[in-house]
Amino acid sequence: MTSATEVMNTILQNIPAEAEVTRIEYEGPKLALYTKKPEFLLLNSYIISDLVNMIKKRVVVRIDKSIRKTETEAKEIIMNILPKESEVTNIVFDDTLGEIILEVKKPKLLGSKNGASLIDLTCKTGWKVKIFRKPPIASSSLQNIFQAIITAVESREKFFKETGERIFRSRLSSDVEVSILTLGAFREVGRSAILIETKESKILLDCGINPGARNSWDAYPRFDWADIYLDDLDCVIISHAHLDHIGFLPVLYKYGYNGPIYCSEPTLPLMNLLHMDYVKVASMEGTKRLFDIRDIREVIRHSITLPYGLVTDVSPDIKLVLNNAGHILGSSMIHLHIGEGAHNIVYSGDFKFAKTKLLESAVRDYPRVETLIIESTYGAKEDIVPDRREVELSFVNSINETLLKGGKVLIPVPAVGRAQEIMLVIDEYMRRGKLVEAPVFVEGMISEATAIHVTFSEYLSRELRTKIHETDEDPFFTEYFTNVEHHNNREEALQEGAAIIMATSGMLEGGPILEYFEALAPTEKNKILFVSYQINGTLGRRILDRAKQVPVIKDNGKIKIVDIKIQVDRIEGFSGHSDYNQIIKFVSKLRSKLKRVIVNHGEKRKTENVAKVINKIFKIPAFQPSNQEAIKVY
Ligand SMILES: [Zn+2]
């Protein structure tokens, strides 16, 4: 089924007249059927599933504007139907899609899976109702997202329509050719960016910056080399919300890109959190910033979020599926299905091939994959993570040693990922009496990221998910933790006495961690405990490499030299990346399907080692290209 007219005809022939479908429109990668009788299609859901099977396109049921209740009427209906105890805290009307987003404190009370009552609400209000779990700590990112979408109704309607027309344009030829262009994060970590080119399409995977780079040639993806016009890009697909994968994204909009971004549902608010923080830190330090808040808003307005496992057309010859990568909340492996199955690419993004407290292990079931692009952050032979229990014990021992002396333990963490894993470990061991009880201070941005974990709890590990869904309780913010909301509260965290402090940024490139570090570094009984990867060139890496003195940039942009007397320790096993064994094990699961492996996202030595081992053990051609190479894979 190729031509748009054919698709439309099939739909018209297969939808019963009782459904009262008034029009069919593109809505980005989906076809939207507008109906005056939503209950018919929602209750007879087989009609839509049969249709999807026939046309092989995503279909969504939308409600004709003429039967939508006014916002005031809809609000009243909702408040009357929902049980009071569920505590509705916010109602957002998305006029573009005809959706209502309800923020609810206790969605459990809405019945299992929320199914029946949601259909009921939809039919009575004429709006499609979606439920979001309201976390105990407010997340400004979600509010930013709501704000950005409700203030851009017309431009979003246009965007969805044009995106759809572009995706479903007719193909120019039936020949398939596929090339991979390396723009960043090859033989290095940072500025991840890969361009996939076929005869029909150009697709960008990730768009990051290198936080450790000292000049702009090394800091940003090499778009200049790829000679690409932003207008030619079909879409950007984002693997996960870390700056080295998303830091350059708003810049594309600044320079005129207006196509879609695809990412998982939690990735959007997490990205927003990091982009906003980037602007905040840059303006405090007085450094020139790459992009501004208006560019971040464009990122939101052009993002199309996808759940894991759903096949979505992103261009005339490429289909996309996102799968859990086990690295951070919402992190995805990107599976591209090119030219009716002629070629399949899996890009691992950052991935963890093992279960953690926070997340399930990365997905390894790919029906077909000829080319694998795989990260190798921990790709050296010696990068082997000890058993998880041992890791937790050395973490606990290291902290206890300092707390018992009355010292403070400073843990630099990226706001997203390690922070939440560490909070779960601290909570568990304090509860069991194995970790000395002391106040744990958590900086505001980490708390915000944690809140997003609660809202998108269906992306968490099975145990956490069950706990949240069955009890409507927050497993992260227990009595041991204090949220540092304002920087005046930092004084409390720095007062005499033992304490644990968790702050961003994870590599000490800006953020509140610097203020704590400056205060704690000159004292020998304190400790800085690293739990995540430190990119070459970052302040974190220099401290880890035992510098005696380091320059710290203050909030006002001035530089202060800080003497380091503080103990320095690192615990490796909490990483959200696969260790050497897990990388090789992952490849071994796919080996029978693979035609080649491209190794990236690792220091040169590590990419070389992984490629060499894959060649040798599995006899699969494996390369470690540099940046600015074009590799024809089909
Ligand atoms: Zn990452």
Under 8 Å between Cβ of 183 and 165: no
| Alpha carbon distance 615, 622 (integer Å) | 6
What does the pLDDT read at residue 477? Answer: 81
Q: Determine the distance separating the centroid of ligand 1 and the alpha carbon of 275, expressed in angstroms.
A: 15
Q: Determine the distance separating the centroid of ligand 1 and the alpha carbon of 601, expressed in angstroms.
A: 10
Mean pLDDT of 590-595: 95
Q: Determine the distance separating the centroid of ligand 1 and the alpha carbon of 253, expressed in angstroms.
A: 22
| Alpha carbon distance 231, 221 (integer Å) | 17
Q: Does the structure show a pLDDT above 70 at 1?
A: no
Half-sphere exposure of 469 (CA within 13 A, CB side): 15
User: pLDDT digit string (tens) for 364-415?
Assistant: 999 999 999 999 999 999 999 888 899 999 999 999 999 999 999 999 998 8
Half-sphere exposure of 1 (CA within 13 A, CB side): 16
Residue with tokens 């035992």: 546
What does the pLDDT read at residue 111? Answer: 58
Q: Determine the distance separating the centroid of ligand 1 and the alpha carbon of 59, expressed in angstroms.
A: 32
φ, ψ at 370 (rounded to 5°): -90, -40
pTM of the model: 0.93
Question: 198 burial class (0-12, 13-18, 19+ CB within 10 angstroms)?
Answer: buried
Q: Determine the distance separating the centroid of ligand 1 and the alpha carbon of 58, expressed in angstroms.
A: 30
Measured CA angle at 444 (ends 440, 448), to 5 deg:
110
Q: Determine the distance separating the centroid of ligand 1 and the alpha carbon of 464, expressed in angstroms.
A: 21
Q: Determine the distance separating the centroid of ligand 1 and the alpha carbon of 274, expressed in angstroms.
A: 12
Measured CA angle at 210 (ends 584, 336), to 5 deg:
50
Q: How confident is the model at residue 2 (pLDDT cuts 50, 70, 90)?
A: low
Mean pLDDT for the chain?
Answer: 92
Q: Determine the distance separating the centroid of ligand 1 and the alpha carbon of 161, expressed in angstroms.
A: 32
Q: Does the structure show a pLDDT above 50 at 113?
A: no
Q: Determine the distance separating the centroid of ligand 1 and the alpha carbon of 242, expressed in angstroms.
A: 5
Mean pLDDT of 138-155: 92
Q: What residues contact 152, with CB distance under 8 A and at least 6 apart?
A: 96, 301
Beta-strand pair 527-530/408-412: parallel
Q: Determine the distance separating the centroid of ligand 1 and the alpha carbon of 191, expressed in angstroms.
A: 11
Q: Determine the distance separating the centroid of ligand 1 and the alpha carbon of 244, expressed in angstroms.
A: 7
Q: Determine the distance separating the centroid of ligand 1 and the alpha carbon of 334, expressed in angstroms.
A: 14
Q: In the numeric block, which tokens belong to residue 484?
A: 């540092």
User: pLDDT digit string (tens) for 524-578?
Assistant: 999 999 998 888 889 999 999 999 999 998 777 788 999 999 999 999 888 899 9
| Alpha carbon distance 83, 76 (integer Å) | 13
Q: Determine the distance separating the centroid of ligand 1 and the alpha carbon of 569, expressed in angstroms.
A: 22
Q: Does the structure show a pLDDT above 90 at 170?
A: no
Taking the alpha carbons at both ends of the chain, their separation in whole angstroms is: 24
Mean pLDDT of 322-339: 97
Q: Determine the distance separating the centroid of ligand 1 and the alpha carbon of 327, expressed in angstroms.
A: 7
What are the C-alpha distances in Å from 477 to residues 88, 396, 420, 423?
21, 19, 10, 8
| Alpha carbon distance 571, 612 (integer Å) | 28
Q: How confident is the model at residue 112 (pLDDT cuts 50, 70, 90)?
A: very low
Under 8 Å between Cβ of 170 and 319: no
Q: Determine the distance separating the centroid of ligand 1 and the alpha carbon of 106, expressed in angstroms.
A: 31
Instruction: Give percent of the chain with pLDDT exceeding 70.
Output: 98
User: pLDDT digit string (tens) for 472-488?
Assistant: 778 888 899 999 988 77
| Alpha carbon distance 186, 196 (integer Å) | 15
In this structure, is the dihedral angle defined by the CA atoms of residues 556, 562, 565 and 571, taken in order, positive or negative?
Answer: positive
Instruction: Give percent of the chain with pLDDT exceeding 90.
Output: 75
- The string of DSSP codes covering 377-404 is TT-STT--PPPHHHHHHHHHHHHHHHHH
Q: Does the structure show a pLDDT above 80 at 492?
A: yes
Q: Determine the distance separating the centroid of ligand 1 and the alpha carbon of 350, expressed in angstroms.
A: 5
Mean pLDDT of 239-248: 96
